[in-house]
Every structure is written in structure tokens, then in C-alpha cells.
Amino acid sequence: MTKIIVALAGDGIGPEIMSAGLQVLATIAKKIGFDYQVKEKAFGGAGIDAVGHPLPTDTLAAAKSADAILLAAIGGPQYDQAPVRPEQGLLAIRKELKLYANIRPVKIFESLAHLSPLKAERIAGVDFVMVRELTGGIYFGDHILEDRKAQDINDYSAEEIERILRRAFEIARGRRKLVTSIDKQNVLATSKLWRKVADQVAKDYPDVTLEHQLVDSAAMLMITRPAHFDVLVTENLFGDILSDEASVLPGTLGVMPSASHSSDGPSLYEPIHGSAPDIAGKGIANPVSMILSVAMMLRESFGEYEAANRIEKAVDKAFKKGILTADLGGKASTQEMTEAIMKQL
Ligand code: NAD
Ligand code: IPM
Ligand code: MN
């Protein structure tokens, strides 16, 4: 049956990297006989331009009835004063689709290891997954802004913590069986609850080791001994910050994909980075974050493991040939990088 894929290109470099992702999808689909249809919808700043809202009604309806959603990036300085900002559209679609589990893999391509700002011996063997809680915490508590006072409420229920912890343990079972739960339990009540629930959930996974780490020292360890980690699990805000930090390991945000899952409905796949307004429109954005998000979609939504592996290998091979975009010190344009990857497919 034809799979319906909703594509939300968004803003800034969004349309440039979405085009790259869809070209690669078309190439691999032809090779493996994957039958799909893309529905492009307005989202983010593009939604504001089209209908005055970052998450238009028909975009949300299409996303809800899709088999999977691809999202490139949203936001930009021109929308910073909008009554409803693009970022609110992003949070709304995550909440509406109940995408509580955000999976952000961090793996260093062999071909890129020498480009990491970290020493080769630190980078060797780095392969971990960040599991970020995506529909709770301080992002979704009340935000109160007064003239001389402001407040953001961080709240978590035990149920919200438990389901994301279970995801992390399940993922760890298929890997090196180490879960590092990251919190700030020396200060925050939400973190005290987080740690208690983590210890309870761990009892159901005796084959998996659970360790706890405070978020400040975790940020340091991610750079000093990144190869130690297997599965990291943490609340929404810490996960946001730590995953951008993790992009320093491969050397750029431009190679970082993600998957967001609910308990039943369609999953959403997007790079972890933003709309990169500083390079938008120049045709030089790294498309690999989007292309690897397409690979994650093929694997996790459609069970097309072989196709996903082939895309990842093609990216590595293109890098090995020295085809690199500017963020990695190269000269390739977005389209040249994309074509080099399609050639390897
Ligand atoms: P950003 O992630 O857009 O960019 C940070 C830096 O990384 C910039 O120098 C940018 O050029 C570079 N970069 C990012 N992606 C790249 C790529 N594919 N290739 C090459 N270089 C790349 O973060 P920012 O500048 O802080 O935010 C810009 C806008 O994006 C803001 O409006 C923010 O709210 C939004 N944002 C959106 C998302 C999303 O759509 N999921 C995520 C993060 C930020
Ligand atoms: C991300 C982004 C978003 C977040 C912003 C744009 C709301 O930074 O996807 O990591 O903070 O979740
Ligand atoms: Mn972020």
C-alpha cells in the first residue's frame, strides 16, 4: 500500500535540506520498490506566511493521518515578534501527536573522525543514543512573563517519566545494555522524582545497567569520555542542550538526525538543528542531517532496514571521497553533497 509521507520543509535552510532528503528518498525507493506519496505542507514561519499560524489546521490534519512525517527546520529572526512564533508550532505538533520519545543518535562516521575537534583517541568508539523526553517538563509548563518578573514551571508526572525511561531501557536492550539517566536531583524536585522512577523501572530490566549522572557533570563527561555512553535518557530541556553539545563530537550539527515517537500514531523525523538563518539561501547547508532522518524513517516507521543501512553507508562513502560541505571544512554545495550520496547508492 502507498505510504503517505507528510513533508514540512519550514524555514531558512529547511526547504534546501528537505529537497535533498526527498531526492535521496526517491532514489532509494526506486531501487527497493518502496511505494510512497509525499504531501508537502506549510509549517513554521512558512505557515505564518501562508495562513497566519505556524501549525495550520490542514497541516495538523495531514500529519495526524500520515504514515510518517519529515520535518526540516523552522524559525528565523523575521518571526521573533510574531504573535505565535514558529517554535510554538513545533511544540504544538509534538504535543498534538504525543511524540514524547525523541531519539537522537550520536555516531561518528569513520570518514569524519579526523575532522572532530576532539582527539582521535577520545572519539574512537563513540556510539550512543540520546533519549530526550519531548512533550513534558519546563517546555510545557506555564510561562508567565511580567514586566519585572518571570516564571517557567517545570512539571513532570511519574507516568511521563516512566514511559520515557522504559523506551530508554528497551533501546539499551538492543545495544550495550547501559542506561545513563541524567538529572539535577541535588536541586530539583522533578529530578528527585525522575531518579526514583528510574530506579523503579530498572527493576524490570535486570539485564540492563542503570547509572545516574547529574546534568552538569554529564555535560563534561560527554566531551572527556564520550565512548563510555550507550543510552542517555533525560528530561526535555536537558536533552535539548546536551544533544547540541553532542554534535561537537562529529564536528557539526549538520549530521545529526532524530526520530520522535508516540505510543501509537505516526512518528516524526527531523534534524536536531534549526533553520540556520546565517547560511540560509546560499545552497551550502549540510543535507546529511535530513538524509539520515530519512534513513531513520525508513527503518523505524517502515521496517526498511536494508534501505536505511544503504543510505548510511552511502553517506559515509561520499564523505570518504572527500565530498564535504562548508561546516566540515569542505567546498561542496548542498546539491553536490546530495548527488555524491545518491551516486554511492
Ligand atoms: P541552528 O541550529 O539553526 O544553527 C546553529 C549553527 O549551526 C549555525 O551556525 C548554523 O549555520 C549551523 N548549522 C545548523 N544546521 C546546519 C546544517 N545543516 N549545515 C550547516 N550548518 C548548520 O540554531 P540557531 O541559529 O540558534 O537557531 C536558528 C533558528 O532555528 C531559531 O529560530 C531557532 O528557534 C530555530 N530552531 C529550530 C529547530 C527545529 O526546527 N527543530 C531546532 C533548533 C532551532
Ligand atoms: C530542537 C529545537 C526546539 C526545542 C526549539 C526550536 C523549540 O531546539 O528541536 O532541539 O527546543 O526542542
Ligand atoms: Mn535544540
Instruction: Of 19, 20, 10, 4, give the one whose Cα is nearest residue 311.
Output: 20
Q: Find the catalytic residue in 41, 184, 205, 269.
A: 184
Cα of 268 to ligand 1 centre, how many Å? Answer: 18
**What are the beta bridge partners of residue 268?**
69, 260
Q: Is 183 a catalytic residue?
A: no
To the nearest 10 degrees (0 to 180), the angle between helices 86-96 and 57-64 is 30
270 CB near ligand 1 (under 6 Å): yes
User: Residue 140 and residue 250: Cα distance in Å, rounded?
Assistant: 31
User: Residue 212 and residue 39: Cα distance in Å, rounded?
Assistant: 43
Q: Note the pLDDT tens digit of each residue in 128-167.
A: 999 999 999 999 999 999 999 999 999 999 999 999 999 9
pLDDT at 16: 98
Q: Is 299 annotated as a binding residue?
A: no
Q: Is 310 annotated as a binding residue?
A: no
Q: Which amino acid, one-letter code, is at 107?
A: K
Residues 6+ apart with CB under 8 A from 142: 151, 152, 153
pLDDT at 263: 97
Domain with CATH 3.40.718.10 in the chain: 1-99+253-345, 117-249
Q: Is 156 a catalytic residue?
A: no
pLDDT at 191: 98
Cα of 334 to ligand 1 centre, how many Å? Answer: 16
User: Residue 184 and residue 335: Cα distance in Å, rounded?
Assistant: 43
Length of the chain: 345
Cα end-to-end span (Å), the chain: 24
pLDDT at 110: 87
Q: Are 306 and 314 contacting, i.e. CB atoms less than 8 angstroms apart?
A: no
On the 0-12 / 13-18 / 19+ scale of CB atoms within 10 A, 38 is: middle
Q: Which residues of the chain have pLDDT under 70?
A: none
71 CB near ligand 2 (under 6 Å): no
User: Residue 112 and residue 296: Cα distance in Å, rounded?
Assistant: 20
Q: What is the CATH number of domain 117-249?
A: 3.40.718.10
Q: Are 93 and 60 contacting, i.e. CB atoms less than 8 angstroms apart?
A: yes
Q: Which value, to the nearest 10 degrees, does the dihedral of the CA atoms of residues 157, 269, 8, 239 take?
A: 50
Counting from 1 in the atom list of ligand 1, the atom nearest the Cα of 326 is 20
**What are the beta bridge partners of residue 150?**
145
Q: Is 244 annotated as a binding residue?
A: yes
Q: Is 89 annotated as a binding residue?
A: no
Instruction: Of 75, 76, 46, give the one whose Cα is nearest residue 59.
Output: 46
* Architecture of the domain delimited by 1-99+253-345: 3-Layer(aba) Sandwich (3.40)
Cα of 259 to ligand 2 centre, how many Å? Answer: 13
User: Residue 236 and residue 141: Cα distance in Å, rounded?
Assistant: 12
- Other beta carbons within 10 angstroms of residue 50's beta carbon come to 14
User: Residue 110 and residue 92: Cα distance in Å, rounded?
Assistant: 37
Instruction: Of 234, 45, 217, 22, give the one whose Cα is nearest residue 129.
Output: 234
Ligand approaching nearest to the C-alpha of 75: 1
0.95 surpassed by pTM:
yes
On the 0-12 / 13-18 / 19+ scale of CB atoms within 10 A, 11 is: buried
Q: Note the pLDDT tens digit of each residue in 187-211.
A: 999 999 999 999 999 999 999 999 9
Give nearest CA residue, ligand 2 atom 1.
Answer: 272
Give nearest CA residue, ligand 2 atom 12.
Answer: 240
274 CB near ligand 1 (under 6 Å): yes
Cα of 76 to ligand 3 centre, how many Å? Answer: 14
Return the sign of the alpha-carbon dihedral for residues 203, 206, 208, 210.
positive
Cα of 233 to ligand 1 centre, how many Å? Answer: 23
pLDDT at 272: 98
Counting from 1 in the atom list of ligand 1, the atom nearest the Cα of 10 is 40
